[in-house]
Amino acid sequence: MNRMTTIGALAILGAAGQTALAQHHVYHARDLGTLAGPTHATAMNAAGAVTGFTTDAQAYHRAFVWDGTLDAFDPLQGDTLAIGYAIDAQGRVIGASFDLGETAIRSFREQGGSVVSLGTFTARGVSPAGNVVGYLRSTGIANTAVDHACRLDGGSLTDLGTLGGADSYAFATNTAGQIVGLSWLVGDQQTRATLWQGTPLQVRDLGTIGGTRSIAYAINDMNQITGGSQNGSGLWRAVRFDLDAAGVVLARVNLGALPTGSAVAPWSMARAINNSATTVGISSGKAFVQKGSGAMQDLATLVAPVSSMQLSGAWAVNDSGQIAASGYGPLGEERAILLTPCDADANRDGSLDVPDIFTFLSLWFANDAAADFDGNGTIAVPDIFAFLSLWFAGC
């Protein structure tokens, strides 16, 4: 059966029941491979290039970039370790170069195998255009060593300050230059997810969902920030902070947590969000994905075919819906994994072909939630077209 014949057959189908349902998602997993030891993903750009770090045969960390092939590169001269923390739209990796136990951490930008120092600070995030944020070691009260969120402006660092406490950390920035991270409050007993934005610079406390701690790990271009907050019981929950255009918090959305399967209370922490409000992170030891107003889902249950990799965390998501994750193989080896959405793989066999159409139709006629391809909570004809659109697009 060719694809046009399939469309003709589907055109005669009528509307089905109107039941509130959850969406159907499938991801195809790709192990990004290894050089000499474990690989751990940290970030990904819009094109699906992934960075992170790998451990070499001598037990030292090397930053890596994967853009179809896996390449690692050395730290700056004089250092023994390097981690890739972020990657911009041009595929340039931003990261930290350091020795364990040292206070002077240097940052680098890598492109094409050439590594250039950006100065003595920890670069943690980069905008699509290449603007870098992170944190620098400074001096606080009584000459204590403190960390302050910072932004790299040209060749100089701008101290972004704190919410009144001693320390702050910037973890991410977006196209508009808004910056998010963590700051300690006055008295240094509470932390807050923090937004730095505007000129002159404003520092905003994003609040919590009831506890004394929150943290922001990512910001998209749609006034949404994600990270975590302790709830009133002191348990971490992945949270999405919805803002207005001025950066005022409109809502703190508790994204929930995956069950632990034991008496242990569940927990979660979000690490990334894309412009479609897809959030990824870690919950109760599992990688999760959460879309829009939908429920948090265990990413491992969405991977097709069922993988032998045990997903341990999801670290980045781009606007194509690709997710950079980490997992462990059957022998315990840690691997960076790229998850690519392929919802049209209805029979979850890892390939896209005609049997997927029949599987979809079976689901559709059965009024199964998995047939809700337009995500409106009902099973109807538009779902057929939504499915076919994906199927013809190749995933």
Partner 1 sequence: MAGSDSPSTRASHSRVTLSRWVRRACGAAAAGFGALMLAGALGGFAPPAPNDYVVFAWNDLGMHCMNEDFSEMMILPPYNTVRAQVIDRTHGSPEIVGSGVTVRYRIPSNTHSSDKTNFWQHAEALFGIALQPDIGLAGNGLSGVMVPHYNPVTLVRDFEAVGIPITPVDDAGREDPYPLATITVEQGGQIVAVTQTVVPVSWEISCNMCHVTPGITVATDILRKHDVLHGTQLEAHKPVNCSSCHSDPALGAPGQPGVSSMSAAMHGGHATRMGAAQNLVSECYACHPGVRTNCQRDVHSSRGMTCVSCHGGMAEVGNPARTPWVTEPRCADCHQAREPTFEFEQPGVLFRDATGHGGVKCITCHGSPHAIGPATTATDNLQAIRLQGHAGVINTCTTCHSTTPSDPFPHRGDDD
Q: Which residues bind partner 1 (CB under 8 A)?
A: 42, 58-61, 80-81, 83, 85, 96, 98, 100-105, 122, 124, 135, 141-147, 166-167, 169, 171, 182, 184, 188-189, 191, 213, 215, 228, 234-236, 260, 262-265, 267-269, 281-282, 284-285, 312-313, 328, 330-332
Minimum distance of partner 1 from residue 275's CB (angstroms):
23
Minimum distance of partner 1 from residue 222's CB (angstroms):
24
- Sequence-separated (6 or more) residues with CB below 8 Å from residue 165: 183, 184, 185, 186, 187, 188, 190, 191
Minimum distance of partner 1 from residue 61's CB (angstroms):
7
Contact (Cβ atoms closer than 8 angstroms) between residue 315 and residue 272 = yes
Between 60 and 387, CB nearer to partner 1: 60
Between 238 and 379, CB nearer to partner 1: 238
Contact (Cβ atoms closer than 8 angstroms) between residue 36 and residue 54 = yes
Between 241 and 267, CB nearer to partner 1: 267
Q: Report the C-alpha gap between 112 and 345 in whole angstroms.
A: 35
Between 146 and 384, CB nearer to partner 1: 146
Minimum distance of partner 1 from residue 291's CB (angstroms):
20
Minimum distance of partner 1 from residue 265's CB (angstroms):
6
Selection from 249, 172, 168 nearest residue 208 by Cα: 249
> What ranges in the chain are assigned the alpha helix state H?
3-11, 354-365, 381-393
User: DSSP letter string over 251-271?
Assistant: EEEE------SSSSPP-EEEE
Between 14 and 101, CB nearer to partner 1: 101
Contact (Cβ atoms closer than 8 angstroms) between residue 184 and residue 204 = no
Minimum distance of partner 1 from residue 134's CB (angstroms):
8
Token digits of residue 386: 């939504």
Between 334 and 343, CB nearer to partner 1: 334
